[in-house]
Amino acid sequence: RAIENQCYVVAVNCCGTDGKGIEYNGASMIIDFKGNIIVAADEHKEMGIVAELNASELNNFREAFPSFMDADMFEIKR
């Protein structure tokens, strides 16, 4: 999603077992607009992650590769 939408993605996940016995592996991550993982949490370990995001670098990339111009126009009708 990061590449096609030209945006940073913060993908979060629970870690551990919830009250219904469902297990979550953690492994949250922050991905840049080129699809590179900037930082990722360890699997099966409760932890926080932090990254510095660069808006001007993102805007420069969007100007160089204006993929939004390829968007299909559509209308949702009920």
* Average pLDDT for the chain: 91
Q: What percent of the chain shows pLDDT beyond 70?
A: 99
Q: Phi and psi for 63 in degrees, rounded to 5?
A: -70, -40
pLDDT band at 28 (very low <50, low <70, confident <90, very high): very high
**Quick one: average pLDDT of 43-47?**
94
Contacts of 4 (CB under 8 A, 6+ apart): 67
**Quick one: average pLDDT of 7-17?**
95
Are 21 and 47 within 8 A, CB to CB? no
CA dihedral 44, 50, 52, 58 (to 10 degrees): 40
Query: Can you give the pTM of this predicted structure?
Result: 0.77
Closest to 28 (Cα-Cα) out of 2, 71, 38, 19: 38
**Quick one: average pLDDT of 35-42?**
97
User: In the prediction, which pLDDT does 2 show?
Assistant: 72
